[in-house]
Structure 1
C-alpha cells in the first residue's frame, strides 16, 4: 500500500480504481462520472451542504417539453435565524395542505382547518333524495357565513328542505326560508348568525319530497375559522 502526496493531475478525470468511478472537471463544475465517462453517478455523503443560496434539481434539463430545472432557494432578505424544516413522514391525504407547527415540523392537514380562509361546500339535492341528506363535517370552531340554495330545476309537488344538524334540523336554514318550486337560477341565501361550536359538526339537509317528481338544486355552505 502506498500513500502519495499529490498536488493535482493534468487530466480533467481522476479515476478511483482500475475500473471505478471518476471525478471530472467540466464546464466549471466537478461531476461524479461512471467508468466510461458517459453518465453522472450518485454522490453520497452523511450531510450534503451548499455554500450558495440555491439547490437545482434536474440540472441537465433539455428546457423543453416537460424537461425543466427546478431551483429551491432561500429568501433574499428577512431571515433572522437559522432554519430547519423537517418533512412529513408520509404522502398525506389527497387534497390536504402542507402546514407547519411554527417550529419547522411540517405535516399534512385538511385545508379546512386553516384560519381566516373561507371555504364553501356543495351538496346536490334531487327530487328523489332521501329524507336525511348527509352534507359534510363542519370543522371545530368554524363560523357559517352563508347558506345558499340554488335552484337548477324547479321542483313540483310540495317539497321542503332545511339545513342543520341532528337534533337541530334548522340550525343554519329553515324550511320557510327557501322555495324549491322557484324558477331555475333562483338563489335563496341566509346568514345564520350562529355561534361557533368547539367540536366538529356533521351537517345534514332534511328533505321532504312532498310528492315531487322533478327538481334539482345545490346547497352551498360557506364557512371560516376565525383566528
Structure 2
C-alpha cells in the first residue's frame, strides 16, 4: 500500500527572505524539499503532494528535477489564500488525498528538517503504541539535545502520561514537549478543519485544539534524533552546524 506525504510550502518567508522559498534553502548541498522527498521515500512513501502558495515557480522547477531523480509521484496543489494560516494549506490537499484513496497521511512543513532516523523512529513509536486517533504528532522532550530550538517560536505542547495532547500553542506557559512539525493524520481531520474555518480559526494548532476536545489528538516521543524549524537566519545557521 502506498503512503502519502503532504508538504506545506505556501508561506511568504517573511522572517527569512533570501529571494527563494524556504523549502529550497540548502543544508550541506541539499534543499530542505529534497531532504523531505528522500527521507520519506526511504521510509516507504511514494506519493507526495506539495502545497504551493507564494512564489510557486521555483518550487515547481525544483520538483521537476526531483521527479527525475526519485522513483516517486510528486504533485502540487496551489493555495490561493496563502495569506491565511497553515491549517488552510492543509485543507487544500484534501481532494488530492481523496483521489489517492488515502486512509492516512504524513504532514510536514517545507521549512523543517529531520535527521536520519527521525521518521522511522516516529513510525516505530506509532506502531508500538497502536495509535488509532485521527491525529498523531511527533514531539520531543526539551533538553540539552535540542537547545538549538528557538523557544520563542517553537510550538509548545502539554501532554499527559498517556501521550494525549492537553494544550498546544506557541504561547502556552505550561508545556513538556516541543512540536517537531511531523504529523500522521487521517482524512477525518478535514471535517475538523471545516469546523474551525467556520469560527475563523485557520491554524493547525486550532485544529489540534478541537481534536483534543474530541479525544482524537495524541503524541509519540521522538527523542535523540536531530530536527529543526528553519524559520529565521539563526535557525539556518544552527542547522548548518548540526548533524544533518
TM-score bin, normalised by smaller chain: under 0.3
Larger radius of gyration, structure 1 or 2? 1
Q: Which has the higher contact order (CA 8 A, sep 6+)?
A: 2
Q: Which has the higher strand share?
A: 1
Q: Which has the higher helix share?
A: 2
TM-score (normalizing by structure 2): 0.20
TM-score (normalizing by structure 1): 0.21
